[in-house]
Amino acid sequence: MTQVDVRQRILSDNAAAATALRERFATARTLVVNLISSPGSGKTTLLEATVRAFGGRLKLGAIEGDIATERDADRLRALGIPAHQILTGGSCHLDARQVSGALETHDLGPLDVLFIENVGNLVCPTSYDLGEDFKVALLSVTEGEDKPFKYPSIFAKAAVTVVTKADLLPYVSFKLDDVRGQIAALRPGGTLLVTSATTGQGIAVWCALLEQRLADKRRSTP
Amino acid sequence: MTQVDVRQRILSDNAAAATALRERFATARTLVVNLISSPGSGKTTLLEATVRAFGGRLKLGAIEGDIATERDADRLRALGIPAHQILTGGSCHLDARQVSGALETHDLGPLDVLFIENVGNLVCPTSYDLGEDFKVALLSVTEGEDKPFKYPSIFAKAAVTVVTKADLLPYVSFKLDDVRGQIAALRPGGTLLVTSATTGQGIAVWCALLEQRLADKRRSTP
């Protein structure tokens, strides 16, 4: 078996596990969002702001992927939502079987929205379907506006790009219009939101988008 | 051949190519630095500041690794140093054979210091020796102080950690002492520098470190 064969088998096994997950999430009527970004773009911080903004109005839960430490799950549990940490032990992404395994061993209860926070990485998580309804790519304004074209695959696959840390725009060089242009080229019709968890900018729009997607899913699921 | 066998063969092939590169760099008396960080931590910006600080006093060159775009090599060539862009086409790290191939096809000329700027990723590049003298991990203050323990492998392997974007410290929550503690635990005796390419903070120390390492290498190379 060559390296290419091995990779194809891995992705094919993952696709089967993702299909089973997607059916499970459909039955549970849970909206599932796969969050992908560089380390430190603010995935957990966005989730904290989301939990606070919903204020218990929706049942939220999270699966956190990291190489090491329980830190992210701890931060979300501290806000009162169920969160399970998967430690990948060196792997640069989550896969569907890890998510299945986490759901088998840790019942997160009935959820309206399950956030899967992937390992901080703009490359590896792109190829692994986790049974989610859609992918969200985060890009902080401190990372520079050249990232979508440098990491085109994830920004093409993400239905939503969330620009984070907008409160830092006065202090950095970041051409928002340039990012808009790159996203429009990579993902025509994709959504781009500009947010700051610090000031609250854009958080209500993000929450409204989640509610709309949840309503759409429930309407289309028999 | 199992997945583990395939990975072992890849790493073993890489190690052989890295050994050949290391011999080549020893003969050339070139100091080689492998720069690793998240996307947008400021690797290229640090190199731009380094080129400006040396002002032609040392012969510098760069090999740039990216998934897509020639942007980083273009930025360095604009400052008058030879730079070659390797496009990995989806791979999340550089490997030693790509570096060898780049040197065969693009003569960068005799160099005092060759910077290899890896693909923006805190995970994948960690396992791939590129024949460098040492690895440098960059961590921008906007990424949060929890990153060394979350991505322990790279911060353990990097002889030098460069904290970047220190000019943004007034606007973000970033506990520098916490990072110092994590680096001391992961890499006892490792060097931690605090820099800002915007204000110039720490750049002279970084350049002095490079000159010292170059002098040490040349003294120890017959």
pLDDT tens digits for B4-60? Answer: 888 899 999 999 999 999 999 999 999 999 999 999 999 999 999 999 999 999 999
Question: What is the three-class DSSP state of A115?
Answer: strand
Distance between CA atoms of A203 and B163, rounded to whole angstroms?
30
Decide if B57 touches A, using CB distance below 8 A: no
Residue B123 has a pLDDT of 94
Task: Tell me the pairing of strands A160-164 and A134-140.
Answer: parallel
Decide if B40 touches A, using CB distance below 8 A: yes
Structural tokens at position B155: 């911060």
Name the band, by pLDDT with cuts 50, 70 and 90, for residue A191: very high
Residue B1 has a pLDDT of 67
Place of tokens 């990097």: B158
Instruction: Report phi then psi at A191, rounded to 5.
Output: -100, 135
ipTM: 0.91
Distance between CA atoms of B221 and A131, rounded to whole angstroms?
55
Determine which of B13, B119, B121, B153 to mutate to test the interface with A (most A C-beta atoms within 10 Å): B121
Render the burial of A62-72: b for 16+ CB within 10 Å, e for the rest. Answer: bbbbbbebeeb
What distance in Å separates residue B27's CA from the closest CA in chain A?
Answer: 34
Decide if B120 touches A, using CB distance below 8 A: yes
Place of tokens 């805190």: B122
Residue A1 has a pLDDT of 67
* Total-model pTM: 0.94
Which residue of A1, A3, A142 is in closest CB contact with B140?
A: A142
Residue B109 has a pLDDT of 85
Name the band, by pLDDT with cuts 50, 70 and 90, for residue B221: confident
Half-sphere exposure of A115 (CA within 13 A, CB side): 29
Per-residue pLDDT reduced to its tens digit, A58-116: 999 999 999 999 999 999 999 999 999 999 988 999 999 999 999 999 888 899 999 99
Question: Please, which residues have CB within 8 angstroms of residue B3's CB and are 6 or more apart in sequence?
Answer: A6, A10
Name the band, by pLDDT with cuts 50, 70 and 90, for residue B130: very high
Which residue of B2, B69, B168 is in closest CB contact with A168?
A: B168
Place of tokens 């002279």: B204
Distance between CA atoms of A136 and A116, rounded to whole angstroms?
10
Per-residue pLDDT reduced to its tens digit, A136-190: 999 999 999 999 999 999 999 999 999 999 999 999 999 999 999 999 999 999 9
Judge contact between A197 and A207, C-beta under 8 A. Answer: no
